[in-house]
Each structure stands twice: as C-alpha cells, then as structure tokens.
Structure 1
C-alpha cells in the first residue's frame, strides 16, 4: 500500500488549521483575556513554538479565529440571498438567520473584547478596519444582485445600505446579547425600507 507523503507546507497548514480551530473554541469559551498561547498549544497538542511559527502573537491568532467565524456567517448569508426564491422568501430566511446568527453571546462578547484591544494596538485597529470594509463590500454586492433580480432599487446608494445594515446588525447583536427578547424582525424591516420598486426612467 502506497502512503502519500505530506509536504512540509501541508504539515504547517494542518498545524495552523488545528491551532485556529482550538483557539476559536477557546476564545469563545473563556474570552480573549482568558486565552493564552500556552493553553492553546497544549490543547492543540503542539509546543508553544509551533504557535509562534504560525502567528506573531495572540492578536494575530485571535484575528484568524474571528476570520473563521466571519467566513462561516458570510457563507450562510450568501446562500440565503442567492437562493432561487422570491425576494420575500429570501428576506424571511435572512431574518430567521438573524435570530441566531446575530448577538450570539460568546461571539458578541469576543468581538467587543477584541475591539477594545484596537485602542492600544494600531495593527489590530487597521486589520479590523480592513475586514469591516470587506464585509460592507460583500454586503453591497449581495444587495445589488438581489434588488436587480427582483426588479427593485435601493432608496439610497447601495454602499450606504450596506453600511446601515452592518451598523444595525452590530447594534442589534449587542442588544440581543444582553436581552434575548429583542425583536429581530426590525432587521428585515430596515432592509425592506431601503428598497422600492424600480422606477421607469421613461415615466419620469
């Protein structure tokens, strides 16, 4: 039986993936301050040196963990807005997702705690800004494609809609982390209020 040799690059990627997997769970369970590189290394089955060979420090490791969380949430939202269903059904699915996808206590707490690090760490601040801009860009793309497909248009520039939705989502997420009874339907209401039937230029 022939065994497939794993290259050094593949082993390093496997190590990195394992560290991010363990760190993500640990950051969610005990928070940023409660997580140490020593604990992550031990839980993942590696030495602390393995952590430093893949990440410059805890900030970079936490950023990678948040990237993993964000990628999954963006993937789910993208699936909802690209379904072959009516705009009403897509919005309903989106609001249903927001009930569990926004304001999950552990994720929200980690986001807030890590954002506080940005006050004293320019690298963290700049990386968070880059990621927020990318999320807004992806949201704008989804909205543009969705309204075009549905024969609608936005009442304000689509970039403003994306910014508004990101802000409302973050705000509702924070509120919901404290008060689970917050009505998440407001998220869909805000989005619905920012679109309208497409106007016929010839009729103007």
Structure 2
C-alpha cells in the first residue's frame, strides 16, 4: 500500500479529529468536551488538535459544518426525490421526524450559540452559517411557491428555520410533541 503524502496524512488527521469531536460534542455537549478529551479519544496528542484548529470554538464550528452539511443534504435529498409539492413535504416530514429534537444536536447548537454571545467574531461566524442554511431553504421554497404565497421565500425560510429550532428545543424537553406543527405551518404559508 502506498504511503500517504503529508497533505493526505494531515487531512486524515483533521477528519478523524472532527469525527471524534462530533461524537463527543453530541454526547457530552460543548462545555463537557475538552480538546484533551478529543485528542485522547482520537489517539493523538493535544498538539495534533492545535495544529489543525486554533481553539475549541474553531473545532466546534467544523463539527457543526459537518452536521449541517450531512443533515441539510439529507433533508434536500428527501425533498428532491419528490415529483410533487405534497411528496416534497412528506419527504421533509420524514427528515423532520428523525432530526428535529435530536437531543445531542439541538443542545449542542443551543450551548454553542450561548457561547457565541460573548464573542462577536464567533457570533458573526454562526450568523454567516445560518444565512447559508436560510438561503438554501429559500432556494428550495422559491421553486415551489406560487405567486399567492403568504410571504416570499426568504421570509418563509427564516420563519420555518426559527420554528424548527424552537420546536427542536421543545422536543428535547418533551419528545411527544409532534413535528406536524412545522408541516402544517409550511402548508399554511405556501397556500
């Protein structure tokens, strides 16, 4: 087997650190996960973590980027397989049932947002990522909305994302709360 190049080895180390941190952040939360724990669990020194990430915030951003990419792609895949608007909504509902209120993901997002309130640069990083998510949702909605929709795609994306975040927090506390309220809101706004 050919030996890895330095760049390949560094990329592999970075990917392993992100995957390990993802597991720990989702299980133990932001504050319950230290860089030392990530390094130990991944089988590296703390120096390996610092050679890839400036600090825990940067590592957590990389983890959230990976989660968002995975979950946004999963939600878009559910919707994109649809031939009709109703099939798209049904696909989105399947994704929402699995993910909205996922305890690890939801609490990590909330805990990290609270962490960001003390750091304007970190807050800006999170805001930029949220804008990308809203933009993606808006672009999907724009292809499905008719001229008589209650609001434009950008506003609707903001409303649905905000409702989804709040619903996720409520479902962490009480998992019996159905995601159907989000689906009903989507249907009401698109009429």
Q: Same fold judged by TM-score > 0.5? A: yes
Contact 2:24/2:33, CA 8 A, preserved across alignment: yes
- TM-score of the aligned structures, taking structure 2 as reference length: 0.95
- TM-score of the aligned structures, taking structure 1 as reference length: 0.89
Contact 2:82/2:91, CA 8 A, preserved across alignment: no
Q: Deviation digits for residues 125-155 of structure 1, max 9, x if unmatched? A: 11110001010000011111234xxxx3432
Contact 1:82/1:146, CA 8 A, preserved across alignment: no
Quote the residue 1:28 is aligned against: 26
Equivalent-residue separation in structure 2 for 1:162 and 1:112 (angstroms): 19
Task: Map residues 19-168 of structure 1 onto 2, 5 A cutoff.
Answer: 19-147=17-145, 152-153=146-147, 154-168=149-163
Quote the residue 1:177 is aligned against: 172
Equivalent-residue separation in structure 2 for 1:84 and 1:66 (angstroms): 27
RMSD after superposition: 1.2
Larger Rg: 1
Q: Which region of structure 1 is more displaced relative to structure 2, 20-29 or 97-106?
A: 97-106
Q: Deviation digits for residues 71-127 of structure 1, max 9, x if unmatched? A: 111001111221142211221121122112111011111111111111212222111
TM-superposed deviation, 1:66: 1.0
Residue 9 (structure 2) aligned to one of 4, 11, 31: 11
> The residue matched to 2:52 in structure 1 has which SS?
coil
Q: How many aligned positions are there?
A: 190
Residue 190 (structure 2) aligned to one of 188, 191, 195: 195
TM-superposed deviation, 1:170: 0.5
Equivalent-residue separation in structure 2 for 1:142 and 1:106 (angstroms): 27
- Runs of 4+ residues deviating >2 angstroms: 152-155
Contact 1:108/1:174, CA 8 A, preserved across alignment: yes
Equivalent-residue separation in structure 2 for 1:142 and 1:6 (angstroms): 40
Equivalent-residue separation in structure 2 for 1:38 and 1:183 (angstroms): 38
